[in-house]
Structure 1
Amino acid sequence: MHVITIANMKGGVGKTTLSLLLATELALEGHRVAMLDCDFNQHGAAFADKASIPNFTVIGDVDEDTVLPALRDAKSTHDLVVIDLPGVSSTLALKAFQRSTLVLIPSRPSLPDLRDAIRTNTQVDDAQELRGSPIPRAIVWTQIAPGFESRASRHVRSALDGRGVPVVSVGLMDRVAFREMHITGQVPRQVEPKGSPAENVAALTGAILAALTPATEVV
């Protein structure tokens, strides 16, 4: 049983989009996936109201008082749980981190966003100390525009040197399809299975799954 938490103390970096794309891609592959929508805006729950995706469930209005019962219930009926956290440091985040198989920290390729990603990583360190065992985590580049390997982006990458924070080998591109899905309730794989957005999601999901091993499962 895996619990993947999507977190960044900064808003607007694509947490909910990443959560939905990952959860729905795995559901379309046949896994039973629950997403806990802990974000104040409840965009994940709004998407689920429009969507028709087998094996995919969103549990909305989850807060620090209800996250543990919601997680226990979801784990009893699903193969995997994705937790979409709000963009703040909170007790809710610490509870989610302590019960995570993997924490993904989305960040746009800019130094201000990366600083917040690093601060989030420090909070995962705090949860790890409380749990008493390692909490795997990784940064995911999001909203990547053409030219990501520009001089500025290489500078952002170099800012991670020596910090020991892994980076997922595939990032999430900046695609219109990822914004339109909130309007249509359809993910790219449903609209154009062979299109570039769908291929990007499949490659990213594969890279994330590669970080999950039986040894990291939680019970």
Structure 2
Amino acid sequence: MTRTYAVVSNKGGAGKTTMATLIAGEYALAKQSILMIDADSRQNLAGWWKLCHKKGNVPANIEVAIAANQRAIEDVLRTYAQAFDVVIIDAPGVDSALQTTIIRSSNIVLSPVQPGIKEIEAAGQTIAEVNDVNDQLGLFVLHMNVRTRITLTGRSLEAYRYIRPFVAGLIEANYQTMLLDTELYERNVYREIQNGLGTLQMQEPTEPVRKARLEVKALVDEIELRRTGALAEIAA
């Protein structure tokens, strides 16, 4: 059965497109067929895909579609989604009516959270939106927060230290969300692949790429572990 994951944040520049391409590459490496949907009017994902074709770095097992309005997203999902193992939606980078359509169409919503107050607030808004959709439509869309663009010095910042208690407070207030243990660090290789170099998993295994690969694999493994755990809990 097709699994649909959306990368959602109400703040532009949160790292959504980077996260989408990183996890897409990992699933594709496992021989799963991936449909990526660019639902952001800025079309960063589509731009990356165009550059990949131009430079001859087209990833295997991945296709990209553009769907920047509600009807287009619904049409793409209805027409093509079942032909793929995994659908990954790169959502708009600002609060948008499209987000409701994207959230209700997803099994998991992932929110990248950088160590900054505005980024944390944006994640909180997404958590509230996912919970509203679940309550209104009787769904069980999972929400996962992923700490991203972390630096060694940044881990001492007050904003970084605030992320965990912020999410814990929302969980205590009966919001359905979780904070993943895996973090994505600030890495040059993550920025470089956006210049049409394909996916992280296609890069020559230098030491920086090796470290990044381990990080992304750990993230995807945790996403799947949390997903299957949640499904088991529902079934029980």
1:78 to 62, 75, 84: 84
Report if aligned partners of 2:130, 2:141 keep a CA contact under 8 Å in 1. Answer: yes
Shift of residue 151 of structure 1?
Answer: 5.2
Counterpart-to-counterpart distance in 1, 2:37 and 2:227: 19
Shift of residue 148 of structure 1?
Answer: 4.6
2:189 to 174, 177, 200: 177
Q: Over the residues paired in the alignment, what is the CA RMSD in angstroms? A: 1.8
Counterpart-to-counterpart distance in 1, 2:24 and 2:114: 20
Normalising by structure 1, what TM-score? 0.91
Counterpart-to-counterpart distance in 2, 1:61 and 1:159: 33
Are residues 1:11 and 2:26 paired? no
Match of 1:159 in 2: 166
Counterpart-to-counterpart distance in 2, 1:170 and 1:74: 31
Unaligned runs of 5+ in 1: none
Shift of residue 128 of structure 1?
Answer: 1.1
Normalising by structure 2, what TM-score? 0.85
What code does the residue aligned with 2:224 have? Answer: L
In percent, how many aligned pairs have the same letter?
27
Report if aligned partners of 1:62, 1:70 keep a CA contact under 8 Å in 2. Answer: no
3-state DSSP class of the match of 1:186? coil
Query: Residues 13-92 of structure 1: matches in 2 within 5 Å?
Result: 13-49=14-50, 50=52, 51-92=57-98
Match of 2:203 in 1: 191
3-state DSSP class of the match of 2:201? helix
3-state DSSP class of the match of 1:134? coil
Are residues 1:134 and 2:135 paired? no
Deviation readout 1:54-100 (Å, 9 max, x if unpaired): 11011024322211111122322101100110122222110111121
Aligned residues: 216
C-alpha change, 1:75 and 1:184, in structure 2 (3 Å) is closer
Counterpart-to-counterpart distance in 2, 1:170 and 1:85: 22
Report if aligned partners of 2:133, 2:139 keep a CA contact under 8 Å in 1. Answer: no
Are residues 1:209 and 2:224 paired? yes
Counterpart-to-counterpart distance in 1, 2:82 and 2:157: 48
Match of 2:101 in 1: 95
Unaligned runs of 5+ in 2: 172-176
> As a proportion of its length, which structure holds more strand?
2
Counterpart-to-counterpart distance in 2, 1:114 and 1:208: 20
Deviation readout 1:15-55 (Å, 9 max, x if unpaired): 01001111121112100010100111211112222132111
Report if aligned partners of 1:106, 1:142 keep a CA contact under 8 Å in 2. Answer: yes
Report if aligned partners of 1:28, 1:53 keep a CA contact under 8 Å in 2. Answer: no
Report if aligned partners of 1:97, 1:135 keep a CA contact under 8 Å in 2. Answer: yes
> As a proportion of its length, which structure holds more helix?
2
